[in-house]
A and B are shown apart, each in its own frame.
Chain A
Amino acid sequence: MSLRITRTGLLDTVQDGGRMGYQHLGIGPGGPMDRFSARLANALLGKPLDSPVIELHFPAATLLFEKPAIICLCGADFMPCINGEPVPMHHPIVVNSQAVLSFEKKLQGTRVYLALLAPLVLESWLGSYSTSIIAGTSGWLKKDDSLYWEEISLPAKCLQQKFTVLPWKTNDTVDWRNEVEFIMGSEWHWLSPAAKEQFQHGFFQLTKDSDRMGFRMAGQKLETGPEIETLVSSAVSFGTVQLLPDGQLIVLMADHQTTGGYPRIAHVISAHLPILAQKGPSDIVQFRMTSLEAAEQKLLKQQKYLEQLQIACKFRIENLLHEA
């Protein structure tokens, strides 16, 4: 055994890069809500960016390490503590055997990602380790569940305390601002001129019906112009903003259905989905228009940053393990 859940959290699941290639059968990719933070945690450990991580919501699980491990936490700050002592985010940490990792307080954000250096031994379904709640796959962690990993030897100097914070980190982490950029959806032009203004300048509050499938937003009702028709169902995407019949909005998130029939007025850009994914019920967001070209550039910039960080950290990890 390597790690045991000693207290069940609200919703703690294994997620990787997602289950690609089955959308035509109604099986969505899933994957982390805040893909940037999940990949950042892997990058800081020098691991392939889409390696499986654990996504935790607050109140989060308590984890007992039964074997030493090197971990990294990115995303929401839930005041992570090892044996009651606060440990830093965005920093690789060597955790000793019998250490207890707990999350004491929701300080900022909605989802934290726990990456482990050693390869986890997990059950995959259709080529992915991402937990599909609807399909009933494994990966939803509850009390007394255990996670196993392939053993790696760690340097003795790191195993003298309960934990050792390794000397590298990043300050370039998920953004906490309340603005996300969007590009127009194919039914954007259905909105009345006033509704277009309202969408770009108004405030939208996440309702309690906001989960991994989608965020229901409360805001001023958006009216449509005369050019509307009934849509036959077609594909939707992570970040698609749908206009509901009552004039309110839903933004589709990681576990969204593969198809839908509501007007797609906008799409939150992929580079900003992590910002949105860290919001929770009662948080307020604003939408700002951008171009497809700018959206792609932002996504590529993010990717480049993660790839470079991953290479640099891989080198550091290899040096550290070399001492073992």
Chain B
Amino acid sequence: MPALHPYSIFPLGDSALTIEFGNTIDRDLNDRVLHLFYCLQGSGLPYTGLVPAYSSLTVHYDTAAIRAQLQPGKTTFEQMAKWIEELAGEESLPVLSGSRLVEIPVCYEESFAPDAQWLAMQKGISIEELVQLHTASSYRVFMIGFLPGFAYMGEVDERLAWPRRQVPRLSVPAGAVGIAGRQTGIYPLPSPGGWQIIGRTPLQLFNRSKKEPVRLRPGDEVKFHSIDQYEFTHYEDGIA
């Protein structure tokens, strides 16, 4: 178990608490978050939800359900914080199991990539270089949020980094692959959105009728590969 240090722990309202390890996008910090996340998942701690984020883990709980186990004079927050610190301090904690590598096909052709041309021009690179850079490295799924199954991944090469659009689009289709700063992500559902769209995957990232409706998990490694429009259209198990 890597030491938890340094961290701060604070209430997120009266029914949740957050353990914060820092305020940056960093694999080491995220490792600690995910380690604690997987520890707490199997711990029997009376939580109602866990949210691993870039550099913090939030534990939601039901104050009323815990009241019988409260030590006199303690708030639920103090009790939960104590339990979490005890669990995190135990030596027998499982080591973070190896993350999965998930391959995701992306069609970078113009009709699926409304911002690619403009982004490439701003960065002084060609579309081919953009595709090459985006598919060159694998990305960590740091966290899932915003929409069911929306994975925040990173970090993209500096030569691709670009802020969100000033005015978000009213509708981005499911499967759209975007860039925001040094993050990359995929819209699992049609949604308004401000990320710079550079391609689209035929893979379903969210499917309500599946036993596991969300494809990606925090801690996964994702590698994109380029496909053409024909492959996109004929992709099996896809949305096309």
Interface residues of A, Cβ cutoff 8 Å to B:
20-27, 29, 125-126, 132, 134-137, 183, 185-186, 229, 231-240, 257-260, 264, 267-270, 292-293, 295-296, 299-300, 303
Number of A-B residue pairs with CB-CB distance less than 8 Å in the complex they form: 148
> With A and B bound together, what is the CA distance between A269 and B54 in angstroms?
26
Q: Is there an interface contact between B11 and A257, defined as CB atoms closer than 8 Å?
A: no
- Known contacts: A258-B145, A259-B143. The answer to whether A233 contacts B53 by CB under 8 A is yes
Residues from chain B with Cβ under 8 Å of A260 in the complex: 145
| Residue B126, interface by CB 8 Å | no
B54 to chain A, nearest CB (A): 4
A22-B49, A235-B16, A296-B76 known, 12 other contacts, Cβ within 8 Å: A23-B50, A24-B37, A25-B144, A26-B188, A26-B214, A135-B148, A183-B13, A232-B53, A234-B55, A257-B146, A258-B145, A270-B15
| Residue B175, interface by CB 8 Å | no
Which among B19-27, B92-100, B112-120, B131-139 touches the partner chain?
B19-27
B174 to chain A, nearest CB (A): 11
Closest CB pairs A-B (n = 3): A259-B145, A235-B58, A267-B13
B100 to chain A, nearest CB (A): 15
Q: Is there an interface contact between A267 and B12, defined as CB atoms closer than 8 Å?
A: yes
Chain B, residue nearest A49 (CB):
B64
Q: Is there an interface contact between B48 and A259, defined as CB atoms closer than 8 Å?
A: no
| Residue B184, interface by CB 8 Å | no
9 A–B pairs (Cβ distance < 8 Å), ordered by A? A20-B49, A186-B20, A232-B25, A233-B146, A234-B58, A257-B147, A259-B51, A270-B14, A299-B63
- Known contacts: A26-B144, A257-B145. The answer to whether A233 contacts B208 by CB under 8 A is no
Chain B, residue nearest A18 (CB):
B48
Q: Is there an interface contact between B14 and A269, defined as CB atoms closer than 8 Å?
A: yes
Q: Which of A20, A136, A259 contacts B146 (CB 8 A)?
A: A259
Q: Which of B16, B53, B67, B208 contacts A125 (CB 8 A)?
A: B208
A286 to chain B, nearest CB (A): 19
B192 to chain A, nearest CB (A): 12
Residues from chain A with Cβ under 8 Å of B49 in the complex: 20-24, 29
A14 to chain B, nearest CB (A): 16
Q: Which applies to chain A's interface (DSSP): helix, strand, loop or mixed? A: loop
Residues from chain A with Cβ under 8 Å of B23 in the complex: 229, 231-232
Q: Which of B33-64 contact A (CB under 8 A)?
A: 37, 48-56, 58, 60, 63-64
Interface residues of B, Cβ cutoff 8 Å to A:
10-16, 18, 20, 23-25, 37, 48-56, 58, 60, 63-64, 67, 75-77, 143-150, 152, 188-189, 206, 208, 213-214, 217-218
Residues from chain A with Cβ under 8 Å of B206 in the complex: 135
Residues from chain B with Cβ under 8 Å of A295 in the complex: 14
> With A and B bound together, what is the CA distance between A270 and B149 in angstroms?
27
Residues from chain A with Cβ under 8 Å of B16 in the complex: 235, 237
Q: Is there an interface contact between A270 and B20, defined as CB atoms closer than 8 Å?
A: no
Q: Which of B48, B49, B188, B218 has most A Cβ within 10 Å?
A: B49
Q: Is there an interface contact between B64 and A300, defined as CB atoms closer than 8 Å?
A: yes
Chain A, residue nearest B152 (CB):
A233
Q: Is there an interface contact between A26 and B37, defined as CB atoms closer than 8 Å?
A: no
Q: Which of A27, A29, A270 contacts B148 (CB 8 A)?
A: A27
Residues from chain A with Cβ under 8 Å of B76 in the complex: 296
Q: Which of B11, B25, B218 has most A Cβ within 10 Å?
A: B11
A295 to chain B, nearest CB (A): 4
> With A and B bound together, what is the CA distance between A260 and B63 in angstroms?
23
A45 to chain B, nearest CB (A): 20
Q: Is there an interface contact between B149 and A26, defined as CB atoms closer than 8 Å?
A: yes
Q: Which of B48, B50, B217 contacts A29 (CB 8 A)?
A: B48
> With A and B bound together, what is the CA distance between A38 and B1 in angstroms?
44
Q: Is there an interface contact between A134 and B147, defined as CB atoms closer than 8 Å?
A: yes
Residues from chain A with Cβ under 8 Å of B147 in the complex: 26, 134, 257
